[in-house]
Copies of this chain bind each other. A is one copy, B any other.
Amino acid sequence: MSTTPAFKRLPRAVREQQMLDAAVKVFSRRGYHAASMDEIAEDAGISKPMVYAYLGPKEDLFVACLHRECTRMIEAIAGAAAPDLPPDERLWRGLRAFFGFVGAHRDGWSVLYRQTRGEPPFAGQLATMRARMVEVIAGMLDDALRAQGREARETDLEVIAYALVGASESLADWLADHPTADPEKTATRMMNVAWLGAGQLIEGAVWRPASE
């Protein structure tokens, strides 16, 4: 009887992490709806009622995943991009941290962006987080502008920042789908597109439609 309990009893904190790991994995593979609580439980090496006891119903579980992955990502980026650096250096470090994170947590990224985007109950959370990112980037651009004694309409900066965030997300998807690709190199490419583009804009260059 007391030979091999096969499954050891573990403290709550440990089980919760195992469950979240399993949930992120299954959610990313199947999508929110197709993921069944049974599969998550099985993958975590635990039975379903435990999941409900610790993390609550499916929706709460997903939010918990979202929250954990989101926190990890924000920390990774914030830790890398110190606010007292010059703008391009800040952007570069932020990008490097971002792509590094995605490369190391492809499942987490998938849950965060691919799944969350389309599901009305969660889309708001994602939008909030993205808004924070956009604000930071826009602030950075604004700093760079003011350092040159210039100004720009707020909306313009916001939209540019939005485009940069979108481009980064898109490349992150590309990275997640190409396991052999190098996060560092991807970050460099993104930096080229972002900074040379945004950089020229800051210099005052403007492209206009030719005619009509």
A interface, CB within 8 angstroms of B: 29-34, 88-89, 92, 114-120, 123, 127, 156, 159-160, 162-171, 173-174, 177, 186, 188-201, 205-210
Contact = CB atoms under 8 A, between A and B. Distances in A.
Which applies to chain A's interface (DSSP): helix, strand, loop or mixed?
A: helix
19 contacts: A30-B120, A34-B119, A92-B210, A117-B117, A163-B168, A163-B189, A166-B166, A166-B169, A166-B170, A166-B173, A167-B167, A167-B170, A170-B170, A188-B209, A193-B197, A194-B197, A195-B207, A196-B197, A197-B197
Nearest to A165: B170
B193 A160 contact: yes
A79 to B, nearest CB: 16
Contacts of A167: 163-164, 166-167, 170
